[in-house]
Structures are given as structure tokens and as C-alpha cells.
Amino acid sequence: MNIWGLLQLGLATIIFLLAATAAKQWAVAPHLGKVVLALALYSAGNLIMLRLVRDFGMASAFSLSAIIQLVAVNLIALIYFGERLGLVQGAGVLLAVVAVAMITLGPAASGR
């Protein structure tokens, strides 16, 4: 993935994080404007992801996006919203990060 792809991925990630935050705000205090904002942000993020899939392939685009969002969304949930993960949940997040990293980096490690 080149620098332009990484910038697009970063932008999509920021948009998805804003969408997730808007969705959580809606869950805490439901309001039509919050759900419309969340849906608009998710739509914008997915439009960027479509471009990334076309340019870099589905496996690369979605794997990188998934791991970045997994970590970032959990940080927002834990730090900003004060949520807590149990031991099993925390282990699951850690294993998910390792799994996606292995999927993403696997072809490079095997010389493909």
C-alpha cells in the first residue's frame, strides 16, 4: 500500500471512529440527529473503503482497516466512555489483533 492508500485508510478510520462515537452517543441518549449523523459517517467511510478495495484488494484493505479500528474503537470505549473489558474480553481483543496481524503480514512473511 502506498502513501496515498495509507492516507485514505487513515481518513476512513477517522470517519469510522467518529461514526462509532456518534452511535454510542445515540445509544446513551437517543435522538434522530445522532443516528442520522452516524449513518452518514458510516456511509462516507464505506465509500472510501470501496476505493481502497478497488486499488489494493479486499484482503489488504479490510484487514488493515479491521485491526486499526479494533484497537482505536476499544481505546475510545475504554478511555472516553469509561467502559471496561473483562479478562476474557480483553484476551479476545488481543487474540483478534494477533489474528488480523497474522493474516495481513502472513503473505509477506512467507515471501508472497
pLDDT of residue 108: 67
Residues of the chain with pLDDT under 50: none
pLDDT of residue 52: 93
d(CA 47, CA 18): 15
pLDDT of residue 29: 95
pLDDT of residue 41: 98
For the whole model, what pTM was predicted?
Answer: 0.76
d(CA 53, CA 76): 26
pLDDT of residue 16: 94
